[in-house]
Amino acid sequence: MSDDLKYLLALSTIPVIGPGTTRKLLNAFGSPENIFRASMSELLQVEGVGKGRAVGIANFKAWDETEKIIDKCEKTGIRILYYKDADYPALLKEVSDHPLVLFVKGRLREEDRYAIAIVGTRKASHYGISVTERFTQQLSGMGFTIVSGMARGIDTAAHKTAIRQNGSTIAVLGSGVDVVYPPESAWLYSRIVEEGAVVSEFVPGTKPLRENFPVRNRLISGLSLGVLVVEASQKSGALITAEFALEQGREVFAVPGNIMSSSFAGTHSLIQKGAKLVQSADDVVEELRHVLKGFVKSAKKAEIELEPEEKRLCIQISHEPVHIDEIIRKSGVASSEALTLLLGLEIKGVVKQIEGKKFQLA
C-alpha cells in the first residue's frame, strides 16, 4: 500500500471533499501527503476549498479509520485501485472527473475496455426485460462486457443474461462494494464477482443512500463505449446515465417502445434529442465500428432448423408474452402436441416460458 493511496483514502473519508476538490488540491500541493502537511492559510488559497474543507483537512485525526478500511479490504478480497495504477480502467481514466480511488471486488480485464452499458427502469415491463435479454445475449456473444448498476428490473436482467452467456459483466454500486443492494440480489452479486467485477468509488461499508446513485451513474457511462437505454420514464435514473454519457463523449442508444406507455417516455425523448434508435446489436456495433478495430466476434449463429409444426407455433409468438391457450387457438395445433413442441422450442432456445403459462420469443 503506497503512502499516496493511504492519504487519498483519508481524503475520501472527509464528507466535504470530492474528486474535483481533490484534483485542485493535488495541482496545488503535488502529492496527497503534502495536502495534509499544508497549513490552513495555504489550503484556503486553493480555489473552491473554503473554510469548511480546509478545517476538515487540517483537523483530520481519523487515521485509525483509514487503516481499518485498508485492513478490511485486504481481509475481504477488495482491491483498492489508485488512478495511476496500470490496471485502473482505461476508459474510466478518460473521464475528467474519474474517481481517484476505486474499490473492486472480482476481476477487471483489459478486454473490459470494450464495454456497453445497458440501463433502464426498475419497474420493467415484459417487453423491456425481453429486449434487454436479447441485446445482452447478442452483445455478450460478440465479446462485449456488459456494464450496469445491479438495480432491480433492466439492470438485473442485463447482468443475469451476460452471466448465462458466460460473458463478462461489471456492476457499479451506489454503496460500498461489500454492501449488496438490493438485498435479494445476493446470489447475483456473488456470480458477478465470479464472472466479472463489482466496483464502487464509495468506501466499504457505505450504505446505499439515495444521493449516491446519480454519482455512481457517471461511472456506468464512464466504463463504457456507449450506453443503451432500454426502457425509461421521464424521471428515470437511466436518463442521468445518458446525460453523463453525452458529457463524456460516449454514444447513447435507445430502444423504441410502446408510445402509450409512460415507462418509455424517457426513452423516446432521448431518440427525439438524437440518441441512436437501435433494433439489434448490429446497430450498436455499426455506430461504434470506428473504435472497435476488428474486436467484435461473429455473432451470427447457424440457422436453427424448425419443423413445419414448430413454425406454425412460432408465427403466433412474439416478444410480448402470449398465453398458451391463445397460441393453440391461433395455430390450430392440438394442445397435447403444442406442449411437446413448445418444450422442444425452449430447448432450442427459440422461445421461453414465463409465469402464467405464457410464452415469448427468446
Name residue 336's amino acid.
Answer: S
| Comparison of pLDDT for 236 and 295, the residue scoring more | 236
Give the separation between CA 108 and CA 117, rounded to whole angstroms: 15
Q: Check residue 1 and give its pLDDT.
A: 55
Return the closest-CA partner of residue 228 out of 252, 263, 264, 245: 252
| Cβ atoms of residues 114 and 143 within 8 Å | yes
Q: Check residue 12 and give its pLDDT.
A: 84
Summarised one tens digit per residue, pLDDT across range 2-48 is 678 889 889 888 878 888 889 899 999 998 999 999 999 999 999 88
Q: In sequence order, what are the residues at sequence separation of 6 or more whose Cβ sits closer than 8 angstroms to the Cβ of residue 325? A: 357
Separation in Å, CA 113 to CA 110, 117, 146: 6, 12, 11
**What percent helix, strand, coil does the chain show, rounded to 5?**
50, 15, 40
| Cβ atoms of residues 12 and 21 within 8 Å | no
What's the chain's average pLDDT? 90
Return the closest-CA partner of residue 252 out of 235, 273, 236, 234: 273
Summarised one tens digit per residue, pLDDT across range 184-224 is 999 999 999 998 999 999 999 999 999 999 999 999 999 99
Least confident range from 20-24, 149-153, 331-335, 349-353: namely: 349-353
Kindly report the pTM of this predicted structure: 0.79
3-state secondary structure 153-180: CHHHHHHHHHHHCCCCEEEECCCCCCCC
Q: Is 260 helix (H, G, I), strand (E, B) or coil?
A: coil
Angle at 73 between CA 67 and CA 79, to 5 degrees: 120
pLDDT band for 342, please (50, 70, 90 cuts): confident
% of residues, the chain, pLDDT over 70: 96
- pLDDT(299) > 50: no
Q: Check residue 340 and give its pLDDT.
A: 84
| Cβ atoms of residues 255 and 238 within 8 Å | no
pLDDT band for 297, please (50, 70, 90 cuts): low
Return the closest-CA partner of residue 104 out of 157, 31, 177: 177
Summarised one tens digit per residue, pLDDT across range 166-189 is 899 999 999 999 999 999 999 999
Q: Check residue 309 and give its pLDDT.
A: 85
Q: Check residue 313 and give its pLDDT.
A: 86
Summarised one tens digit per residue, pLDDT across range 221-235 is 999 999 999 999 998
pLDDT band for 294, please (50, 70, 90 cuts): low
Summarised one tens digit per residue, pLDDT across range 68-105 is 999 999 999 999 998 888 899 999 999 988 999 999 99
The cell 464528507 sits on which residue?
A: 15
Q: Check residue 42 and give its pLDDT.
A: 93
Summarised one tens digit per residue, pLDDT across range 305-333 is 778 888 888 888 877 888 999 999 888 88
Return the closest-CA partner of residue 325 out of 357, 296, 291: 357
Q: In sequence order, what are the residues at sequence separation of 6 or more whose Cβ sits closer than 8 angstroms to the Cβ of residue 301? A: 141
Q: Check residue 304 and give its pLDDT.
A: 65
Q: Which domains does the chain have, with CATH numbers?
A: 1-76 (1.10.150.20), 110-292 (3.40.50.450), 308-361 (1.10.10.10)
